[in-house]
Chains A and B, each alone.
Chain A
Amino acid sequence: MKSAAGLHLKTFCLILIMVLFGPLGDVLLSKGMKDLGRISSWSPPELAHLFVAVFSSGMIWAGIACLLGFFIAYTLVLSWADYSFVQPSSSFAYGIVALLGHFLLGEAISPLRWAGILVICCGVLIVGHTPPRTTENE
């Protein structure tokens, strides 16, 4: 895995895991929080009650599991690739989270928001043509 091609393949695979598990985790968390209802009070007792409710929700735990998968892939890829490369590359997740929000949660998404997602993907393609590492190993 020392070659440039190997490095790019390894980076691609882990970023793919990130863009699938991250959005799925966000959508599951959103579903879980919506099921608990809108936060009406920010007082400590209410937040303590909410804290217990949050961690009693299976949907929240499923979201956390997905985000844990995202976090592991993210942590590993950051051991060799630049943060300023990995972070924008993972922005494909915005398109996926919108699709999941629309189809799984029934969220209404305006044409302007879809256009914005397309612009994001163009930005990601530009970032993807830069070298994944600009610093030397310590």
Chain B
Amino acid sequence: MLVEVILIFFIVVAGTGGELCLTRAMKTIGEVHDFRPRALLNVFARALRVGWMWIALLLMTSGFFSLLGMLSLENVSFVVPVTALSYAAGAYGGSLFLGEKVTRQRWLGVLMVCIGVTMVWKGRG
């Protein structure tokens, strides 16, 4: 059980931290308007020159290997919903770290998502 808790912690914290850093990196690059392959490659080349992108990749890689570990221990229909613990952390981190204005309506939606995820978790066979 301790191993599962540690893996979930890494999936949530490293995953959410990585996504926040990824968002900050992409906001630095600016909105993508051109979706042609060459233009997209140029976007990713520019993104790799942003320090936040490398931190994001490091954190998300840690989260990925933790996910693989959990998937060897539990069913995917249990593991993936549990990772939604990151929703609350993501909305909070988005407002704190990225200056996003999270409205009450959006908080309500996030809360419902979390309640649903809890039910899914409780429904473990």
Binding site for B on A (CB under 8 A): 1, 23, 26-27, 29-30, 33-34, 36-39, 42, 54, 60, 72, 74-76, 78-80, 82-85, 87-88, 91, 93-94, 97-98, 100-102, 105, 107-130, 134-135, 137-138
B58 within 8 A of A: no
In the bound complex, do residue B3 and residue A83 qualify as a contact, i.e. CB atoms below 8 Å apart?
A: no
Q: How far is the CA of A20 from the CA of B124 in the complex (A)?
A: 24
> How close is A15's CB to chain B, nearest CB, in angstroms?
14
Binding site for A on B (CB under 8 A): 3, 19-20, 22-23, 26-33, 35, 40, 43-44, 47, 67-69, 71-73, 75-77, 79-81, 84, 86-87, 90-91, 93-95, 98-103, 105-106, 108-125
Q: Which residue of B lies closest to A29 (CB)?
A: B71
Indicate whether A130 sits within 8 Å of B109 (C-beta atoms), given known contacts A27-B76, A29-B68.
yes
> How close is B33's CB to chain A, nearest CB, in angstroms?
6
> How close is B39's CB to chain A, nearest CB, in angstroms?
11
Indicate whether A84 sits within 8 Å of B26 (C-beta atoms), given known contacts A94-B80, A123-B111, A126-B108.
no
Residues of B close to A120: CB separation below 8 A: 81, 84, 112-113, 116-117, 120
CB contact between B110 and one of A82, A112, A114, A127 (< 8 Å): that residue: A127
Q: Which residue of A lies closest to B68 (CB)?
A: A33
In the bound complex, do residue B106 and residue A85 qualify as a contact, i.e. CB atoms below 8 Å apart?
A: yes
Indicate whether A84 sits within 8 Å of B112 (C-beta atoms), given known contacts A79-B26, A116-B81, A137-B30.
no
In the bound complex, do residue B22 and residue A75 qualify as a contact, i.e. CB atoms below 8 Å apart?
A: yes
Residues of A close to B108: CB separation below 8 A: 123, 126
Known: A75-B22, A82-B94. 10 other contacts (CB 8 A): A30-B79, A78-B23, A82-B98, A93-B80, A102-B77, A112-B119, A120-B81, A126-B109, A130-B106, A134-B103
Residues of A close to B79: CB separation below 8 A: 26, 30
In the bound complex, do residue B33 and residue A105 qualify as a contact, i.e. CB atoms below 8 Å apart?
A: no
